[in-house]
Amino acid sequence: MESRRSTIFSLILLLAMALAMFADLLFAGGTRVLGHPGSDMFLQYFAWREFGFRELAKGNLALWNPHIFSGAPYLGGMQGALLYPPNWLFLVLPTPVAINWSVALHVFAIGAFMFFWMKQRGLSAPASFFAGTLVMFCGAFFPHVFAGHLPQLSAMTWSPLIFCSIDAVFRTQRVRWSLLGMFAIAMQTLAGFPQYVFYTAIIAGLYAALHLIGHWNWRVAAALLSIYPAGALLAAVQLLPAIQTTRETTRGFRLPFQFASMLSLPPENFVTLLAPDFFGHIARYWGRWYLWETSVFIGVVGVAFAIYATIRCERGTKWHALIVVCVAFLLALGAYTPLFGFLYAWVPGFDRFRSISKFSFLASLFLCLLAASGLNRLFREKRIEIPFIAAVFAGAVALGVAGWWTASTGSWRGLMNASRASGQSYLFPQLYADTEFIAQSQHLAAMSLFVAAGICALLGIILAFARREPRALFSVIALGAAEMFIFARGARATFDSATIVNPNEKRFLEEHAGDYRIMNVANTNSAMLIGAQDIWGYEATVVRRYAEFMTWSQGGDPRQAMSYVKFVRYDPLFAMLRLRYALGQRGNELEIGDAPEPPMSHLQLVSTYRVLPYRNAIFDALRSATFDPAREVILESEPEPRPSPFESAGTARIVAASTDALEIEADVEQPAILLITDAFTPSWRAVALSGSVQTNYKLLPANYILRAVPLLAGHHHLRLEYARDALAIGKWISILAALAFLTALGRCATLDRHYWSGAISSRLRQVKPSPE
C-alpha cells in the first residue's frame, strides 16, 4: 500500500511539473502556440496538423496533399500522424490549444514512462521520480519544444516504455511483458517520425543482446524478437502507405554523404552536460549545428549521480547501461568518427536520415537511468561516502575555475570564429564580428559554468548534511528537479499562430480567385491554411520526379535531388505548373509579382505528342525552343488510343474534387490526350464512370512530372484517384493484429486472475485454524 501511495504521489508531482511548465498556454493561451516563430512549428507542423485534421473532421482521411509541391503524398509521409491516437485531440480542440496540450501531455508521459521503467528495475519511488524529471526536461528532449518538433517529441516519448518492456521480460521471465513493448513500438511508429523508431530499435536490440549474453533463454529471446514485428503489424495501417510513399518520393533516395553527415554531435558539446548555455542561449546559439540536436544536458545533479553509480553500483546494475551510453554517444558523434562512413556505406538505413546526433537522446535515457540508480543506492544504504562528497566539492571548484578562465580568456573570439569557420553554424555571420555579441556570449558561457559550480557546491552541502540526517536526500531530488525545470523554462518559446498567414496574402488571393498556383518564398506551407496551392513546400516528402525537375530547373543535378531546393531564377516551364503569382515578404510588407508567363489551365486537351523514355532526354526536349506545353506533351510510352494528329475541338472540366480524387467530364471530337497539370505518381489511376465512352483509362506521366490520359472521341466521365490499396491492406493487417493483441492481453489477464486467486486461497488455507 505504501508503494502504491508513493507511486501515485510521484506521478501527481510529475503531472504538476508538466502543467506548471505550460499552464499559461493550456488555460489561457488563445492563439499562442509553443515553438519559436522561425521554427518548424511555424513553417510546417501547424499547417500540417490544421490541414490533416480539418479533413479528418469532415470524414476524409487525406492520403494526398494538393496544396504544396503541386501535390504530394500526405498520410504516407507519416509526419501528419493522423492515426496516432493522442493526436485525436486535434479533432475536438482548436489547433493552437491542441498543440499545447499535446506537447504538455507528452512531456508528462515521457516522465511517467521513465518512472515506470525505473520501478520495473526495482528502484524506489523517489529515485524513479528523479529519473522522470531528468528525462522530461533534459537537453536531448525538451529543446525540441522550442524547435516545434511535434512528431519528434511524440516518437521519443515511447522509448522508455520499450526499454521497460525489455527489462520486465528478463526480470519476470514472463512473455506477457512483450505485449507492452509491442504496444509502445506501434505507438512510436504512428507518432510520425520513423528516424526515432529506427534508432530506438538499434539501441533496443543492443540492450536486449547484452541481457541475453550469459543468460540465454530461448523463450525470452523469442519474446524479445517478436516485439518489433508485432509492433509493425499493429501499425501496418500507417506503415504500408509509408512504404508506398517512400517508393515514389525523395524519402526513397539515398542521401548524399555530405547531407547525411550533417547535424552530427560535435565533441565539444559534451560540455552541455553541465553547462547548457556554454555556446549561447538556444535562440542565439553560436556553436555547431542546432542546439536542440546537440544538447546533452541532464544537469549537474544528474551527472554527479551517474558518475557515482558508475563507480559504486553493482556491476549487474550498471554495465549494460554504461555500454549503451558509450555506443549511443559514439553513434551520435556521426561524421566526427570514421564509424559513420562505414555505417553509411554498409548498414541499411544510415544513408536515409541526417541528424545522427539523435542517438544522444537514447544515451541520455541511460545516463538518467544511471543517475537514478546512484541516488537509489544512497537511499537504500543510508550512508554517504566522504570521498563522494569530497569529489562533488572538487567538481564545484573545477567548474568555478573553468568559469573564471572562460570569463577572463582573450581567445574567446578565436573560439567563436572556429565555429563559424567550420561552416556548420547557422547563426547570422555578422554576429561573429559583433564585439558586443562576442562579449555577451563569453559572459553567458562563464555564468553557465559558475551556475553549475554553485549547484555542485550546494549538492555537496546537502550530501554532507545528509550524512547526519538521511531524509535530507529528498533535497537532492528537489535541487535536481529545480535545475532541470529552470533550464527547460528558459528553452521554452511561443508565438502567435495568427501570424503564420499574412492577412494581406489571404485577402489578395480571395480577391483574385482562380485555379492557379502561387510560390510563397517566405512560407510555402501557408497555402495549406488558406486553401491555396503552391508549387513548392516545406517537408521532406516530395514526389521524386518533381524534386528532380525542380532541382534541374534551378541549374542543379537531378541525380542529387532532395526536398531542399534553392530557388534562384524563374523558369518559363513553371507555367505548366499553373504558377500565376510569386509572393514574398519584406518586413511586414507583402510583395506580390505576376509570373512572366500566363499559367496553363488545370485540364488541357492536346493532340501532339512525342515519346522519350529517359529523364535527361525529356528535360532536353522541355528546354528546346520549339516545345510548347500548351500544344505538345512528352510521354514515356505510346498512348492507347493514339490521338489524332490534327487539332480537334473539345472541352474538359472538373466536376468534383477532393484531396485524393478529381472527377472529370470531357467531350472530344477526335482522339486526344487529356493533360492534368498536377504532380504524377504511379499511385494515381484513372477510373471510368457511368456514361463514359471508354471503359478503361490509363494514366501516364506527362512532361516527366504531370499526368496524362489518352481519350477516344466522344463523351468521357472519369475519376482520377490516389490508390488506397496500401491503406486498405494495412488496415486489415492492423485490425487482425489488434484482435490477436487483445486476445493475448485477455489471456494474460485471465492467467493472472487465476494465479492470484490460487495464491490467496492457499494463503487462507495456511492460516485457517485447525478443528479442536
Round to whole Å and give the CA distance between 537 and 524.
Answer: 5
**Nearest 5°: phi and psi at 594?**
-80, 140
Q: Is the pLDDT of residue 331 over 70?
A: yes
Q: Residue 753 — very low, low, confident or very high, per pLDDT cuts 50/70/90?
A: low
From residue 118, give the alpha-carbon distance in Å to each of 126, 474, 707, 755. 10, 17, 55, 25
Lowest-confidence segment of 185-189, 212-216, 236-240 by average pLDDT: 212-216
Round to whole Å and give the CA distance between 603 and 141.
Answer: 48
Q: Is the pLDDT of residue 771 over 80?
A: no
CB 128 within 8 A of CB 17: no
| Strand pairing class (517-520; 579-586) | parallel
pLDDT of residue 772: 44
Q: Is the pLDDT of residue 646 over 90?
A: no
Mean pLDDT on 5-20: 95
CB 142 within 8 A of CB 136: yes
- CA neighbor of 140 nearest in space, from 424, 452, 367: 367
Q: How many CB atoms lie within 10 A of CB 452?
A: 28
Residues 6 or more apart in contact with residue 591 via CB below 8 angstroms:
583, 584, 585
Q: Is the pLDDT of residue 762 over 90?
A: no
Mean pLDDT of the chain: 93
Residues 6 or more apart in contact with residue 82 via CB below 8 angstroms:
52, 53, 56, 61, 62, 75
Q: How large a percentage of the chain has pLDDT more than 70? A: 97
The larger pLDDT score, comparing residue 286 to residue 645, is at 286
Mean pLDDT on 324-330: 97
pLDDT of residue 761: 56
Round to whole Å and give the CA distance between 258 and 263.
Answer: 10
Q: Is the pLDDT of residue 522 over 90?
A: no
pLDDT of residue 763: 52
Q: Is the pLDDT of residue 345 over 50?
A: yes
- CA neighbor of 48 nearest in space, from 30, 28, 69, 27: 69
Please report, for the chain, how many H helices and E strands are present, in that order: 27, 17
pLDDT of residue 766: 55
The angle that helices 2-28 and 473-490 make with each other, rounded to 10 degrees, is 20
Q: Residue 550 — very low, low, confident or very high, per pLDDT cuts 50/70/90?
A: very high
Q: Which three cell numbers stand for residue 136?
A: 522530461
Mean pLDDT on 683-710: 96
Round to whole Å and give the CA distance between 651 and 663.
Answer: 14
pLDDT of residue 769: 52
pLDDT of residue 618: 96
pLDDT tens, residue by residue, 142-180 = 999 999 999 999 999 999 999 999 999 998 888 789 999
pLDDT of residue 163: 97
Q: Is the pLDDT of residue 752 over 80?
A: no
The larger pLDDT score, comparing residue 757 to residue 299, is at 299
Lowest-confidence segment of 122-131, 228-237, 429-438, 709-718 by average pLDDT: 429-438
pLDDT tens, residue by residue, 43-102 = 999 999 999 999 999 999 999 999 999 999 999 999 999 999 999 999 999 999 999 999
Q: Is the pLDDT of residue 758 over 70?
A: no
Mean pLDDT on 605-630: 94
Round to whole Å and give the CA distance between 119 and 122.
Answer: 5
- As beta bridge partners, residue 603 has 676
One DSSP character per residue, 288-342 reads SB-HHHH-----HHHHHHHHHHHHHS-HHHHHHHHHHHHHHHHHHTGGGSTHHHH
Specify the amino acid at residue 371.
A
